[in-house]
Amino acid sequence: MAIFVSGRKGRPRTRVVEFFIQVFVLSVIAYSLYVTTVEIASHSDNWLIIYRGQSVFGGLYLLSVVFLIPRLGIVYVSLTLGRETHNTPKYPLPDKDHLTEPYECVNLDGDLATCTKCSGAWKPPRSFHCSTCGVCRMHFHHHCPWVGNCVTNTRMKTFLSMLLIAPIAFSVSLIPIWHALARHMALALQSSQQDAWAAQFWWDWWGSWIFFGGPLGRWIFGMGLGFHILKAERRDDLPLVEQPNLRLFTICAFGLIFSFFALALALWTIADILRGLTTLDALQERYPNRPSRFVCFPRDNTRDVSRTATAILPGERIYDLGHWVNLRNIFDSEFNNTMGYVWPRLNPFVLDRMQNTIQSE
């Protein structure tokens, strides 16, 4: 019989903040789709296809962004769903006397972990109680405020897809306009530095070196002022891409920031997976005073061996089964989740070390 005990309701204020983050991210994605399909590829002036006369390239560009950007939005939305239901433990507390394979436990008596915030419900190995969502998650990696949800093994493929699609979609979207955008950025910066009002308001002010991101932000904000100054010279008979535009510069700046962040997070996450670590495991490795962890070897009546538990040494990765097996476990996790609870395999080298330690005592 499955048992599911809901924990606390989480953190309402954090949920409100994450809701606005979701609205902001979806707005950026939607506006990016509008800019690329309407303003760049098929504006009333048809900048890329007719104005530039690149019909084949324009058609391919339009097909690419229509596929990539909506796909990014769909993947993002799918990660925000099921906040209180996905990957929550629904299994009764097993009888440790009936277990036959080594398992992670919380003490030398071989006891299994339970969650005090979920009324003492069983917390399977590699599970963690997310205080933001108010539930326990199986195979927990981390809580992502950008999607307002937890990332677990079964959602890792989707999460990595989002992180990798974002820089690809941004790069493809930027291909036809990067040269014009770079020219307009240089013009905006020059106009800002030569404008008397901008010089007094920003460039001559000592605070421009500190506020808005430090020295780098000084130039970015100054460039934004230049786009604002050049707005007075905008012509109605030219397409958006043919003249300096603060709107286009802003959406590209957000896209660049998101893309670098997503790519860095993807590489970091993949590196942890290859080492057999969740994001939480990798963070906890840095703290030497983390709670002790143990592995229990069940009683073997056939050999008259009693149940024995031994501590996991610092730096030992008990779930590291090798690079390719670790990756395969991520890709097979959704299939395994439909078969009922599957106990995670433990590192055989660590188990051998533990058994040798037990036998030598």
Residues 6+ apart with CB under 8 A from 332: none
Report the distance separating Cα 313 and Cα 223, nearest Å: 54
Query: C-alpha angle with apex 147: 142 to 151, nearest 5 degrees?
Result: 30
CA nearest 80: which of 145, 140, 137, 141? Answer: 145
pLDDT of 179: 87
pLDDT of 44: 44
Q: Which contacts (CB < 8 Å, 24+ apart) does range 74-77 have?
A: 75/158, 75/161, 75/162, 75/165, 76/25, 76/26, 76/29, 76/147, 76/162, 77/26
Tens of each residue's pLDDT in the chain, 361 residues: 333 344 445 678 888 999 999 999 999 999 999 888 887 776 544 566 555 566 677 778 888 999 999 999 999 999 999 888 888 888 899 998 888 899 999 998 899 999 998 888 999 999 999 999 989 999 999 999 999 999 999 999 999 999 999 999 999 998 888 888 899 999 999 999 999 999 999 999 998 898 877 888 899 899 999 998 998 888 776 777 778 888 888 888 888 989 999 999 999 999 999 999 999 988 888 876 777 889 999 876 555 557 788 999 888 999 999 999 999 988 876 544 555 678 899 999 999 999 888 887 6
- CA 9 distance to own-chain centroid: 23
pLDDT of 339: 56
Strand 149-152 with 140-144, pairing:
antiparallel
pLDDT of 6: 43
Whole-structure pTM value: 0.85
Residues 6+ apart with CB under 8 A from 162: 72, 75, 76, 79, 262
Report the distance separating Cα 89 and Cα 138, nearest Å: 6
User: What kind and span of H or E run contains 181?
Assistant: helix 178-194
User: What kind and span of H or E run contains 168?
Assistant: helix 153-174
Neighbours of 51 (CB within 10 A): 15
What is residue 44's DSSP assignment? T
SS3 annotation, 105-144:
ECCCCCCCCEEHHHCCEECCCCCEEECCCCEEECCEEEEE
Q: What's the chain's length in residues? A: 361
Task: Encode pLDDT of 95-118 as tens digits.
Answer: 988 888 999 999 988 999 999 988
Amino acid identity at 61: Y
Report the distance separating Cα 151 and Cα 79, nearest Å: 8
